Amino acid sequence: MLYALQDCRHEDVSIADITKNYNIPFRTLWNKMKGHHTKSVGGQTALSAKVEEELVNHLLVCSDYAMSLEKRDVKLIVHQHLWNRGQTVSNFKVVGDDWVSSFIKRYEVLSHRMCQNIKRARVGVNPDEVKKYFDNLNTSLEGVPVDNILNYDETYLTDEPGMKKCLFRRGVKYSERVMNYSKGNISVMFAGSAEGEMLPPCAMEGQKGQESVGAKVGGWTVKTLKIGS
């Protein structure tokens, strides 16, 4: 279509010949030349392009600040926007999941994926604090035998019941959302020395009000797992 419109600007070529060369209907080419029917093909969007772009920018800002929104949040925002403007759209009384899905497909910068909830305290760790930690670690480990140096790490073994799909900037590596609550109450601690010796894993699970074998610390039951026997 673009090449056909460029040929139409030349006076020595007729529109009839151009329609034959590019296999384009005469009326379609004529409307493009006169600026008629400039909207996109198919059904039109309920919101204007400007409003949709502003909504995308707000969603990206929320994602960058780890405050990503869910589909339900987007539907509430659009509903409130239409309500405040007194705008009515045919067949659009309630914003549904189909509209939100189509909205995400129209803007490739958005991505709908599962997120990991993290607490605000973890967000406060910055690169300067990490660098300061390793500087202090080098000083504190001077003269310490390698078999006395232990590294602990924990991991969760249960699914997170609060995980939901949210909207993020496409390509983001870690899809996280800051919340006051984040994960379940079951974790496993692993430890190993600097010379390569692994200690038995230690499982920690919430057992408030329940009796269980193992040491209790602040309502938590600590157990040692036996592997291989």
Our separate counts of H helices and E strands in the chain read 8, 9
With a cut of 70, say whether residue 46 has pLDDT above it.
Answer: yes
Is 192 a member of any domain? no
Is 147 a member of any domain? no
Structural domain range at position 28: 2-34
**Span 95-137, pLDDT tens digits:** 788 888 888 988 889 988 887 777 766 666 778 888 888 888 8
Is 17 a member of any domain? yes
With a cut of 60, say whether residue 184 has pLDDT above it.
Answer: no
**Span 196-226, pLDDT tens digits:** 888 888 876 655 444 434 444 444 455 555 4
Distance CA 82, CA 115 (A): 29
Distance CA 135, CA 138 (A): 5
Is 27 a member of any domain? yes
Q: What is the predicted pLDDT for the residue at 209? A: 43
Burial class (CB in 10 A: 0-12, 13-18, 19+), 188: middle
Q: What is the predicted pLDDT for the residue at 90? A: 62
Q: Is 90 or 15 the better-scoring residue by pLDDT?
A: 15
Is 116 a member of any domain? no
Which amino acid appears at position 83 of this protein?
W
Q: Is 2 or 162 the better-scoring residue by pLDDT?
A: 2
Q: Are the C-beta atoms of 163 and 117 separated by less than 8 Å?
A: yes
Question: Which of 27-31, 134-138, 162-166, 209-213 tops mean pLDDT?
Answer: 134-138
CA 205 vs CA 49, 72, 106, 128, 136: distances in Å: 51, 33, 45, 33, 32
- 133-148 mean pLDDT: 87
Residue 112: partners with Cβ closer than 8 Å, 6 or more residues away: 71, 101, 104, 165, 166, 167, 168
Is 7 a member of any domain? yes
Is 16 a member of any domain? yes
Distance CA 213, CA 229 (A): 19
**Span 3-13, pLDDT tens digits:** 777 777 776 77
For residue 216, give both structure tokens.
Answer: 């209790």
Number of domains in the chain: 1
**Span 84-99, pLDDT tens digits:** 888 776 666 677 888 8
Is 129 a member of any domain? no
Distance CA 45, CA 47 (A): 5
CA dihedral 91→95→98→104, nearest 10 degrees, is: 120
Q: Are the C-beta atoms of 203 and 215 separated by less than 8 Å?
A: no
Q: What is the predicted pLDDT for the residue at 124? A: 67
